[in-house]
Amino acid sequence: MTDLLQIGGITPRMEAALADRFDIHVLFDLEDRQAWLAENGDRIEAILTNGHHGVPEDVALATPNLKVVSSYGVGYDAIDAPAFAARGIKIAHTPDVLNDEVADTFVALWLAVSRGIVVADRFARSGAWEDGAFPLTRSVQKRRVGILGLGRIGEEIANRIKCFRGDVHYHSRSRKDVDYTYHDSPAALAEAVEVLVAITPGGPETEHLVNAEVLKALGPEGILINVSRGSVVDEAALIAALQAGEIAGAGLDVFAEEPKIPQALKEMENVVLLPHVGSATHETRAAMGDLTVRNLLSWLKDGSVETPVPECRHL
């Protein structure tokens, strides 16, 4: 059977689908990782990983005969795709199957921040309602909403904004053939809108794309939602902007050093925090697992993968 290195956990459903086709070695179960890689790394032809763990450098160096990497997740910034593509290694991920869930998570965070849902829940549970009404909040209707990264998920977010009769604006690496208003920089986008949602890929090219300048442009009534990667937002600048009242609030599903969240963010009532659960439903995770497996089985059958990352589509 083909040797497969598993990085991170997989579901029983995924394991059952792969067990009779691959000899699976679980990286994090190895007592002496370096010794095992030195002795067995050249046997590894396939890797199954996820967007968080990616492929560590020591694993990449120790697997000279690697042919394919199948990642459970749409983001692949923890995988050096250009370097693998240069080696002729196919990289697959799981786009599209999680678009709806992440877009719905944006809506949940937007509503939670704008309408003070989390604070109102505590208010009701505490009995404070008996002493007076909860303060008024802000409507989500007819807002100008800026999408930073109009890809597949960004398009789904735009569809949801329209359900609230919102005005969609966007910035991406290139202008799209859409009816939404384009802005040529993140700062220009932020200045034009009341709500800014980050849904761009992670990695060096987008690190701190939302910085102090962008946050100041968003303004004291503005709300930031991040359902992309923690690296996209300058966390220190965000904390400073929130503390200074330069923006009104934030809804965050991702963070710079997950699972660690800065204490300052935890203490702010105008910030809603989620533990990176944008795609975390039973249905979507099952679909992601099935696609991760299909990519490996497709490669085993004819050397192709169903959903290659852009850098590897020519392979």
Contact yes or no for 5/63 (Cβ under 8 A)? yes
Task: Please say if 208 is a catalytic residue.
Answer: no
Task: Please say if 311 is a catalytic residue.
Answer: no
Which among 39, 205, 257, 258 is annotated as catalytic?
A: 258
User: Which class for 48: exposed (0-12), middle (13-18), buried (19 or more C-beta within 10 A)?
Assistant: buried
Which among 101, 229, 235, 285 is annotated as catalytic?
A: 229
SS3 7: coil
Task: Please say if 52 is a catalytic residue.
Answer: no
Contact yes or no for 87/65 (Cβ under 8 A)? no
Instruction: Cite the beta strand spans of 101-217 per DSSP E.
Output: 144-148, 167-171, 181-182, 195-198
- Radius of gyration, CA atoms only, the chain: 22
Indicate the DSSP class of residue 177.
S
Token pair in block for residue 127 = 């009995």
Which among 53, 183, 276, 285 is annotated as catalytic?
A: 276
As annotated, the active-site residues are: 229, 258, 276
